[in-house]
Amino acid sequence: MKTLHAASADPQLMPLRADHLSQAVDLSRALAWPYREADWRFAFELGTGLAVEAEGRLVGTALWWPQGESHATVGMIIVSSAMQGKGIGRALMDGLLQRTGERTLILNSTQEGLALYTRLGFIAHGQIYQHQALLEQASQFAAHDGAHVRVMQVEDEPSVRQLDRAATGRDRSALLSHLFDIGILLVVDYGDGVAAYACAREWGRGVVIGPVIASGPAAVPDAKALIAALAQAHRDRFIRIDVTEDSGLSPWLSENGLPCVGHAKPMVRTTHTFPNTAETDAHLFALSNQSIG
């Protein structure tokens, strides 16, 4: 356990524990982040976290999720408003950097976090578009062709894992295993195997759609078909989806009743070059959520 300052009453850096999660909900709620305790538990069980306590209360969090030996994502970095300006955010990030080693790190930054992450060697690129709304019956998603969309079967799991790795360049096996357990997954199949997949699960104020990954010449219409099918299945629910700038889907989502309500800035920190010679036509259209990627 590490002390941020010399005095014993000052904030203490320590591993995030399961009994911290109810207080973590309060921290995220103060920022108007919609995490439920179940969402914190999902992230906690999938990754590793750091916490900062002051006088026995949780005042800061940061988590990271290993994705193979070469990569990790970083997120849920929160410091209580009452404790900001005391070096807690920097201490949390320094702790994460020590633990992640030479992995390439990926995070999606708020505007407030950009300066700190830039000082720590993260480089910004692209944009994430956050779309959400209570989906109305009048949505145009109903008109989208889903003739080749079907429910994912157990025998599809290896193909989905392979497609995901091709699109992201990362080993997200642990994330996918969790999603297979709790989510609704659809695939696009033209009769010769899985060409695309998407997941929807309970999250935040309702349902989050993501990841969405598609490959081949029909990747864009396939991604749209999957999103449309999942949106249709969750009418009258609050739906959120975080899409990449490269996906080009942001205007289409707005037209179909899911307006863009915010942005995040993808950032990457690389300290070691890992060879990646694979060529792929698979693309990541939507994140599982902004924290885990």
**Longest CA pairwise span in the chain (Å):** 66
CA dist 268 and 272 (Å) reads 12
Report which DSSP code applies to 4.
S
Instruction: Identify whether residues 84 and 194 lie together within a single domain.
Output: no
Instruction: Identify whether residues 86 and 158 lie together within a single domain.
Output: no
Instruction: Identify whether residues 162 and 95 lie together within a single domain.
Output: no
Each residue's pLDDT tens digit, 8-30: 468 999 999 999 999 999 999 99
Domain of residue 83, CATH code: 3.40.630.30
Is residue 117 domain-resident? no
Tokens 């949780």 -> residue = 58
Tens-level pLDDT at each residue, the chain (293 residues): 344 544 446 899 999 999 999 999 999 999 999 999 999 999 999 999 999 999 999 999 999 999 999 999 999 999 999 898 889 999 999 999 999 999 999 999 988 889 999 999 999 999 999 999 998 765 677 666 677 999 999 999 999 999 999 999 999 999 999 999 999 999 999 999 999 999 999 999 999 999 999 999 999 999 999 999 999 999 889 999 999 999 999 999 999 999 999 999 999 999 765 444 457 899 999 999 999 99
The confidence score (pLDDT) of residue 136 equals 76
Instruction: Identify whether residues 194 and 74 lie together within a single domain.
Output: no
Report which DSSP code applies to 144.
S
The confidence score (pLDDT) of residue 7 equals 45
Helix (H) and strand (E) counts in the chain: 8, 15
Half-sphere exposure of 292 (CA within 13 A, CB side): 28
Instruction: Identify whether residues 76 and 162 lie together within a single domain.
Output: no
How many structural domains compose the chain?
Answer: 2
Q: Which of 101, 119, 136 is the last residue of a domain?
A: 101
Instruction: Identify whether residues 84 and 138 lie together within a single domain.
Output: no
Is residue 232 domain-resident? yes
The confidence score (pLDDT) of residue 277 equals 43
Instruction: Identify whether residues 55 and 180 lie together within a single domain.
Output: no
Long-range interactions of 63-67: CB distance < 8 A, separation 24+: 63/16, 63/291, 64/96, 64/99, 64/100, 64/105, 65/174, 65/175, 65/292, 65/293, 66/100, 66/103, 66/174, 67/168, 67/170, 67/171, 67/172, 67/174, 67/175
Instruction: Identify whether residues 135 and 277 lie together within a single domain.
Output: yes
> What residue numbers bound the domain in which 148 lies?
128-262+270-286
